[in-house]
Amino acid sequence: MRRNHNLGMSPVRAGLLTLFLAAVVVYFGFTKAIPFRHHFEIQAVVQNSNLLRPKSPVRIAGVNVGEVVKIGRYKKTNLAVVTLRINDNGQPIHRDATIKIRPRLFLEGNFYVDLKPGTPGTGKLDDRGLIPVAQTSTPVQLDQVLTALQSDTRASLQQALKGLGEAFNEKPTPEEDAVQDPAVRGMSGGQALNETLKTSPRSLKQNAEVFGALLGPRPHDLSKTVSGLTKAFTALADEQDDLADFVTDFNKTMGTTAAHAADLRAAVHELGPTAQHASQAFTQLDAALPGTRAFARDFAASLNELPATIAAAKPWLAQSDKLLGQDELGGLLDDLQPATANLAKLERSTHEWLPQIDLLNRCATDVLIPTSNLKVEDGPLSANTESYKEFFHSLVGMAAEGAGFDGNGGFLRLQAAGGPDAFRTGKTNYTGTAYIGKPTLTPLSTRPAYGNKLPPFDRSVACKDSPVPDVNDAASKGPADGRRPQAAPPNPDDVDNGGGGD
């Protein structure tokens, strides 16, 4: 019997199978990942990669949850972007996640990525999501510290420390001491600082109260605030180009502000009074708000009637349009225009005659009325009443004198015959010659006494500035002994000089 089949594997198949198994072993040995399977990866922008290498571990709270798979340059900047592959035990990763590149233990060597997954309230970070540079940090290397402390930097630091020591130990000058608080005058900076330690416990207690208030009246207020700030900073990090422009513009703004520091200082000096006035205004506004709210509620209730009111007002508005037209009030305004022009002229003229009326009013108030209220002391002939009343009484006497002797006549009888004494009446004819009177009886005297001279009359003095006359002084009374003066023989000179009589 012929045997046509082979019970073993051909050498070709055995070789191919061996190569395949070797490839699988090598792949798992180096990649430690299942092929053809999707992996969750995120990216993080850092200042520098700090000797990170692919395969560097990613840890959460010290537990490996992934590894670095790729390191490259972020766009066209000097920043680096690190691609991290996160296993299932490290998920989920939230939007506010942060990473820090830390050195590994001495025996481990290299660096690792310390990942904090963030808070659930910010939402999950998508696959291939980006953690901005604001949420990443890199360690400071020793060479960077030594590079920062160059010789000139060390010299400046020494000068700063020396100046700080002098500032703490040096006594203030009288000019500097004058503007200090009285409690620390005459003390050095160190002594004044020691004095502040006496009030530090109370100050720290008050600061604790302030910080306690910053936590908010409800739980998680501060965490929500921080979360909101994180979102804001995340948004700023996503727009790094715009943020760079903003920083540039902000630098220019600060430069301009520094150039106008004096004006800014003056403005800040006025903020105190302004804030005080604003506080008073806000207090008054707060007091007015209840009434305003009540008015708003009442007004809101009336808005329902507003459409009906507008509909009812339309006929009136139509009539008002005709009333305000040229045929009605418009024409009336044209007719009133000349009168308005005259009223304007009258208004201008009042600026001239109102001051004159004021002078007349002040003359009457300050001089004429006080003078008319005086009583003339004339001995037995005194009327014992004010001058203005005596004037009206004389009018009554003249009316009685104009009646007949029996009280019923209508004639005024005057004595026509004259005596030897002549006096000037004070009146003149058309030629300017004075009228001369000659009474039958010799005049005893005049009351008030007439000094043959007119009272002084000065037009340069306003009536309102003239004094109230004294009608009872010695010059206005007759002879002190009351004797009857002797009549002088007629003399033309006496007639011209003016005698007296009543």
User: For residue 85, what pLDDT band results from cuts at 50, 70 and 90?
Assistant: very high
User: Within a 10 A sphere around the Cβ of 344, how many other Cβ atoms?
Assistant: 10
pLDDT in tens, 43-62: 999 888 777 888 889 999 88
Q: What is the pLDDT of residue 30?
A: 59
* Two structure tokens written together for 443: 């005049």
Question: How far, in Å, CA of 145 to CA of 397, rounded?
Answer: 125
* Two structure tokens written together for 128: 């291939």
User: For residue 35, what pLDDT band results from cuts at 50, 70 and 90?
Assistant: low
Cα 429 to chain centroid distance, Å, stands at 80
| Residue, of 239 and 42, whose pLDDT is higher | 42
Residue 266 scores a pLDDT above 80: yes
**Distance of CA 348 to CAs 343, 353, 358, 409, Å?**
9, 10, 16, 56
pLDDT in tens, 370-394: 989 988 887 777 888 898 888 888 8
Among residues of the chain, what percentage have pLDDT more than 90?
A: 5
| Residue, of 16 and 490, whose pLDDT is higher | 16
User: For residue 98, what pLDDT band results from cuts at 50, 70 and 90?
Assistant: very high
Residue 477 scores a pLDDT above 80: no
Question: Positive or negative CA dihedral for 241, 244, 248, 254?
Answer: positive
For 360-377, what is the mean pLDDT? 89
Give residue for tokens 């290498």: 53
Measuring CA to CA, which residue among 108, 109, 47 is closest to residue 82?
Answer: 47
User: Within a 10 A sphere around the Cβ of 399, how many other Cβ atoms?
Assistant: 9
Grouping H, G, I as helix, E, B as strand and the rest as coil, residue 234 is helix
Q: Residue 227 corresponds to which amino acid?
A: S
Backbone φ/ψ region at 450: left (φ over 0), alpha (ψ -120 to 50), beta: beta
φ, ψ for residue 118 (rounded to 5)?
90, -170
**CB within 8 Å of 230: residues ≥ 6 apart:** 96, 122
DSSP state of 375: B
The model's pTM is 0.30
Query: Could you give the count of Cα atoms lying within 13 Å of 260 in the half-sphere of its Cβ?
Result: 10
φ, ψ for residue 71 (rounded to 5)?
-130, 130
Grouping H, G, I as helix, E, B as strand and the rest as coil, residue 419 is coil
User: Within a 10 A sphere around the Cβ of 84, how many other Cβ atoms?
Assistant: 23
Q: What is the pLDDT of residue 403?
A: 60
Residue 443 scores a pLDDT above 50: yes
Cα 195 to chain centroid distance, Å, stands at 39
Question: How far, in Å, CA of 334 to CA of 202, rounded?
Answer: 81
For 407-430, what is the mean pLDDT? 66
Peptide bond preceding 448 in cis form (omega within 30 of 0): yes
Residue 369 scores a pLDDT above 80: yes
Q: What is the pLDDT of residue 55?
A: 87
**How buried is residue 85: exposed, middle or buried, by Cβ count under 10 Å (0-12/13-18/19+)?**
middle
| Residue, of 326 and 121, whose pLDDT is higher | 121
For 132-154, what is the mean pLDDT? 73
Residue 160 scores a pLDDT above 80: yes
Average pLDDT, the chain: 77
